[in-house]
């Protein structure tokens, strides 16, 4: 079974630029999560989708972050404009359904300079 795929693996941008991350969950997984992991901290949930609907986006900085999951499969997370404090690893995870084990991708390491 293929795991959660994320791209790119690394990204370096200047502050105020925009960036987008892509995630392809495990086939058949209805629930998709985006987490932000700042160096030395645990992952923090940004947004959770159930199919193509948003379940929880309470911790998503909506003035600069946006995410979509068209057709209930792939998802993109966008930051516009980026700030220095957005430097982190962005992890995508998926699960078969709510309340089951979540499988994480390798993440995208974003550096904002």
Partner 1 sequence: QQQVKQSPQSLIVQKGGISIINCAYENTAFDYFPWYQQFPGKGPALLIAIRPDVSEKKEGRFTISFNKSAKQFSLHIMDSQPGDSATYFCAASIIQGAQKLVFGQGTRLTINP
- Kindly state the helix (H) or strand (E) to which residue 79 belongs, with its residue range: strand 75-79
Residue placing its CB nearer to partner 1 in the complex, 37 or 76: 37
The correct pick among 44, 51, 84, 111 for binding partner 1 (CB under 8 A) is: 44
Does the protein bind partner 1 through residue 73 (CB under 8 A)?
A: no
Backbone angles phi, psi at 74, to 5 degrees: -65, 160
Q: Is 53 among the residues that bind partner 1 (CB under 8 A)?
A: no
- Site stretch for partner 1 (CB under 8 A), options 12-20, 21-29, 35-43, 78-86: 35-43
Closest CA to 4 of 108, 77, 103, 109: 103
């Amino acid at each position: 079974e293929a795991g959660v795929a994320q791209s790119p693996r690394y990204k370096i941008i200047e502050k105020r630029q925009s960036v987008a991350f892509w995630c392809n969950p495990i086939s058949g997984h209805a629930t998709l999560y985006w987490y932000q992991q700042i160096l030395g901290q645990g992952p923090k949930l940004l947004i959770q989708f159930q199919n193509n609907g948003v379940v929880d986006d309470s911790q998503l900085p909506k003035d600069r972050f946006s995410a979509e999951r068209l057709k209930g499969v792939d998802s993109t997370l966008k930051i516009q404009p980026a700030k220095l404090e957005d430097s982190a690893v962005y992890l995508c995870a998926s699960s078969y359904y709510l309340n089951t084990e979540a499988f994480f991708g390798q993440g995208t390491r974003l550096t904002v300079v």
